[in-house]
Structure 1
């Protein structure tokens, strides 16, 4: 019985590999996962229920990870300050004032605000918010500092010229 199983295993190896004209065997390469970075400017208000749905085309793989960052300011030297969502802001007494969060499926990303009185949140936090959406293979997200967008972009070998703008 062991000889039959061994024979079938060897026969399977030969049939599952592609043959070249030189008689050597080669295995078809596995597709290399790529990352994408999108940028969108949006506003959160009562008209859109303080949320924005961003459609992905084409859909992402189920093994991909989506990271969303919000441009929260600029340093005195002119560098962007990006915060990874979820992002939460508290009152001085420690209770929730408001925050940003997101969820995603294979076909879309929903970015939304949370809080008790979103209408009272300053327009600086609601209007013309710039978001960066990074879609990355799960294997990368385990090895990089996700809180640092510059580290993420560097690890994925993505520069600013490769960021795709989405018009809503």
Structure 2
């Protein structure tokens, strides 16, 4: 009888201990619809498009867009990606800024200058305005939180987010 009493006492003690346990565990949410991805856009900046290239996207309102400009297009030394925003310093004290805006459904990459952009030379237009290629990297903000990551280094970014590079 003493053996049954001990088992019963242990069972009651276990039930009480389990029910009194703090069950306010942190909830881990696995967001299945958000993942790092990238896409490329190419376009030319001109007065007709208000020096803006637009692209539709679909991201959560907590996600982040990184935009890189290919600054080595047409060069046999390989592709070099530069993070925006970026200012290019032209002759005569002129500055041409590349920047972007985004929301959950659209991104706009645009140029602004401290001069009338329609006055660029043909060589400058070829280098800075015509057939510009940009890489949009869409990443969940939660994945990069507190990350020790140099976002200026495109290769580090795609490695961190495990995004296959497009050659």
Q: TM-score normalised to the size of structure 2?
A: 0.71
Change (3 A) 1:45 1:78: same
Structure with greater strand share of residues: 1
What secondary structure does 2:71 align onto? strand
Q: Structure 1 residue runs of 4+, over 4 Å off?
A: 74-77
Counterpart CA distance in 2 for 1:146 and 1:69 is: 10
CA deviation profile, 1:11-32 (whole Å, cap 9, x unmatched): x959xxxxxxxxxxxx886225
Q: Which residue of 2 aligns with 1:6?
A: none
Q: Which residue of 2 aligns with 1:90?
A: 89
Q: What's the offset of the Cα at 1:108?
A: 0.4
Q: What's the offset of the Cα at 1:133?
A: 0.3
CA deviation profile, 1:108-140 (whole Å, cap 9, x unmatched): 001100002211231221111000000112231
CA deviation profile, 1:74-129 (whole Å, cap 9, x unmatched): 69872311111111022467x44211100101110011000022112312211110
Larger Rg: 2
Counterpart CA distance in 1 for 2:98 and 2:75 is: 25
Provide structure 2 residue ranges, at least 5 long, that are not aligned to the other structure: 1-18
Q: Which residue of 1 aligns with 2:50?
A: 49
Alpha carbons 1:75, 1:81 under 8 Å: kept? no
Q: TM-score normalised to the size of structure 1?
A: 0.70
Structure with greater helix share of residues: 2
